[in-house]
Amino acid sequence: MAGGGRLVFGVSGVRGVVGEGLTPEVAARFASAMGTWCGGGCVVVGRDTRPSGETLRGSVLAGLLATGCDVVDVGICPTPTVQLAVREHGAAGGVVITASHNPGEYNGLKFVSPRGIFLTPEEGIQLREIAEGGAFRGERPGARVREDPQAPGKHLAKVLALSLLDVSRIRAREFRVVLDVGNGAGGAVGIPLLEALGCQARVLNAEPTGVFSRGPEPVPENLAELSREVVGGGADIGFALDPDGDRLSIVTEEGEAIGEEYSLALAADLVLSRAGGGTVVTNLSTSRMVEKVAERWSGRVLRTPVGEVHVSLRMMADHAVVGGEGNGGVILPEAHFGRDGAVGMALVLELLADRGITASAAARGLPRYWMIKRKTPVAEGLVGRLAEVLWPFVAGAEVETSDGIRAAWEDAWLHVRISGTEPVVRVVAEAEDRSRAEALVEEALRLVSQG
């Protein structure tokens, strides 16, 4: 986690501790920069449930109006709802007030381009330069805010209309589902989706207060309550979302939190089986399960640097049939090109209905790997030398250097990169054998800490 007083620049947005790195003034300035970048067109604004979102909303609206933008306010809703609404309204851009999976004291702004995807790194630099330069567009008489309370409903309709879904067959299964929305915004689409799919749904942490009663990231260690509720209630599956509803993770009917990597792998299994193969795009830190699924259906996997927009762009360029990130982010082009927890849930339920299997059987149908993730402070002089430092260690592997260095062997892979948002080196390894994954991580940590 980044230091409290800093404003952190990610690939496509900013975040910080509210009142420290991220003040109302900072939010207004970035909104004016976005309004200027958008040429004073229409901008869609939405937010997650964090209590600080209301104040920041005021700042963002002021910043946009001051630069002559009309605003469509879609209120509290998942990030993918905003991405869809940008396209739906033919808007010049979008702003999502969210700090995603970060703790409650954080908030942030994510910026959406007219294509309904996040700003590219180049566009993000343009925006930052406008924000720091302060040469904003002027006001326009008549610029106004209107609300679009139908945005989550339109998002829901889009998911239900996906050609991959056989809604009546899913409804016939009457799945018992426990959905843990973690006091976030994901319930705005997730809860009606499960109802529309005929599920007997029980919702945990349903109050959209932004006061997180579990760790906001949907990783297994935060899902003990969900596991208990699934087993105790005899449910078929448990779903957990992050606060802005773009990441999904799964608990099987046996109560096992299988981790976020499975969400994309299972979704890809369904999509590729229907498409008869095709291209899957994911980032360099995502599990090899995706490759195994692609092999099963004669598909191929393309890897990108970490960051949703990199995946979105590559999916558009290479006509991917499905994609996403191993952190539980599923992207289905027929819906839109952003990660979407509701799309992920629909695809997983379709998979279970289609194959007549349980969630645990679906998970067992994928090869099991050990994935180990660690981070360490960036040693002095390491920036720009990461590949050089690791090169001797990865000799003989298949090496890729578009985002740090990723080395793949027959039985394992290792990805080492310098974080864009924290002063740390991230090290991820995955192997069929746990000790192999651990050994790769340990050696990489040793080498990078020597710098």
- Catalytic center residues: 100
Which residues from 325-354 bind Mg ion, rule CB under 5 A?
none
Output the furthest CA–CA distance in the chain (Å, rounded). Answer: 65
Identity of the amino acid at 173 = R
Which residue(s) pair with 45 in the sheet? Answer: 73, 95
Min separation Cβ 287 and Mg ion, Å: 19
Min separation Cβ 311 and Mg ion, Å: 14
The angle, 0 to 180 degrees and rounded to 10, between the axes of the packed helices 261-275 and 341-355 is: 60
Size of the site for Mg ion (CB under 5 A): 4
CA gap 166, 349 in Å, rounded = 10
For Mg ion, the closer CB: 13 or 63: 13
For Mg ion, the closer CB: 108 or 305: 108
Min separation Cβ 184 and Mg ion, Å: 9
Which residues from 186-215 bind Mg ion, rule CB under 5 A?
none
For Mg ion, the closer CB: 229 or 242: 242
CA gap 400, 402 in Å, rounded = 6
Which residues from 244-303 bind Mg ion, rule CB under 5 A?
244, 246
For Mg ion, the closer CB: 88 or 242: 242
For Mg ion, the closer CB: 242 or 325: 242
148 lines the binding site for Mg ion (CB under 5 A): no
Min separation Cβ 417 and Mg ion, Å: 20
Please name the residues in contact with 222: beta carbons below 8 A apart, sequence gap of 6 or more.
182, 214, 215, 216, 240
Min separation Cβ 99 and Mg ion, Å: 9
Full DSSP string of 189-233: HHHHHHHHTT-EEEEES----S--SS-SS--GGG-HHHHHHHHHT
- Helix/strand/coil for 151: helix
Full DSSP string of 31-88: HHHHHHHTTT--EEEEE-S-TTHHHHHHHHHHHHHTTT--EEEEEE--HHHHHHHHHH
89-108 mask for Mg ion (x: CB under 5 A)?
Answer: -----------x--------
Report the residue closest to Mg ion, judged by CB: 100
Which residues from 227-246 bind Mg ion, rule CB under 5 A?
242, 244, 246
- Helix/strand/coil for 397: coil
Please name the residues in contact with 355: beta carbons below 8 A apart, sequence gap of 6 or more.
362
Min separation Cβ 42 and Mg ion, Å: 24
Q: In what order do the strands lie in the sheet with 106-112?
A: 7-9, 13-17, 106-112, 93-97, 43-47, 71-76, 145-147
* Contact assessment for residue 33 and residue 27, using Cβ atoms and an 8 Å cutoff: no
Q: Which residues bind to Mg ion, rule: CB under 5 A?
A: 100, 242, 244, 246
